[in-house]
Structure 1
Amino acid sequence: MGMDPPMGSRDSQVRIMEKTVANAEKYFGRFCSLMASYTRNVAKLRDKSDLLVRQLTDYANTESPELRNTMKSFAEELAKVQDYRQAEIERLDMKVVEPLKLYSIRLKQMRAELKRFNNTRSNEIKQLEKLARLRQEAPPHQHSSPQAEFSVHRAAADTSRTSKRLQETFDCFRREKLKDVQRIFSDFVAVEMIFHAKALEVYSDAFRSLHSYGSGKDLEGLSRPPG
């Protein structure tokens, strides 16, 4: 087994761990809030687009046959985009927002490990101070209290044990954090790429649908005399 690091070095390492966890809490919390807001805004856009589709369909029913068919076809293409947008919303929730929400659990576990170590470290310092005080107060030929020395050794063993557990937990946390950042934002980009690729196809069809319309037949029908 390797030797435990000196107290000063160990305390410095713990401060670095606490800063790393604090940064993760700060930024992952912001990411979660922003991505949840982003997803809600996509849902609002879907709702407005659904309304546009309904209005286009209603309008088409008031027009002459050729334009009516063209506008209905155009509205159907826009409705397909909203189906893809709904899938985008569901995937963003599942692959981005939820993992960011669950990250708070991992951060709480890391905080608990830090708290456990700090408590055992504080107890070790308390027992050392108590032993030092007893040694000062003891008669010249009595060096210390066996019970106090035992308490110091036990506290030091507790600190060593929790220190090793903390280091192992932190190393795992740091590795997983790097993987999670890569995975979550890769999933975000993938979801957006899939939606935009599908949407581009459908928008192209919608564009062609509009430009296939020829007003000749509708105008011809209007120019005929009644009766």
Structure 2
Amino acid sequence: MAVSTRTSSIGGHQREPSGTLRLSVPTSYGHKRVLPLLPAFRARYPRVEIDVHVSNRSVDFAAEGFDVAIRILPPSDSSLVVRKLEDAAFVVVAAPGYLRRAGTPQTIADLQQHECIQFLRPASGRPLPWYLHEDGREQEIVTAGSYCVSDDVTGCITLLRHGAGLLQTLRFMVEDELRDGTLVKVMSHCAGSARPVSLLYPHRRALPLRVRVFIDFIVEKSTAWRRAKL
């Protein structure tokens, strides 16, 4: 008989998930996907406290005592269990006001005439390339612009919304703005592929109940994310 991940029975007594859940999420996915859900998770499991680490830094599960992490791109550590949540698609976007002022790019070559907001890689401090399709395959394209943002990619979104330029980002970062028209997609024919987003946790014979119910909760929510279409 399957044991529910919400509660389990020991000696005839129901046991609720409890204790501190240590969670690591990247800044972009944390702000747009995970953090908004945590109050609902705690409403369901009020005895679970949450210690959430919002950063793009890779964490050491054993040394730092994390229970669960969410990461974009597949992990290199084979000791971790990987549960795919969704494929996050790239888009190139801009504010309508910027496009009225600067025109709408149609080709990769057109980007040379535009302000392309730059996000600096945390590890190297160098601008992140844009991933665009050209000649039937995805290529890394070096763009240029007067705005560089480091550490927090949401700073790029703020600049974008206020007409600073063009940005390539993952679609989940700008879903709300695309729906309400604050931002619009451009160059959809070459905007790039998608990147997997995965839930990671260490291999253990017996996961703590608080970890099991959190995994179930996030996987349940990810079904709606995968179905969402703009």
- Scaled by the length of structure 2, the TM-score of the pair is 0.22
Structure of greater Rg: 1
- Structure 1 length-normalised TM: 0.22
Higher strand share: 2
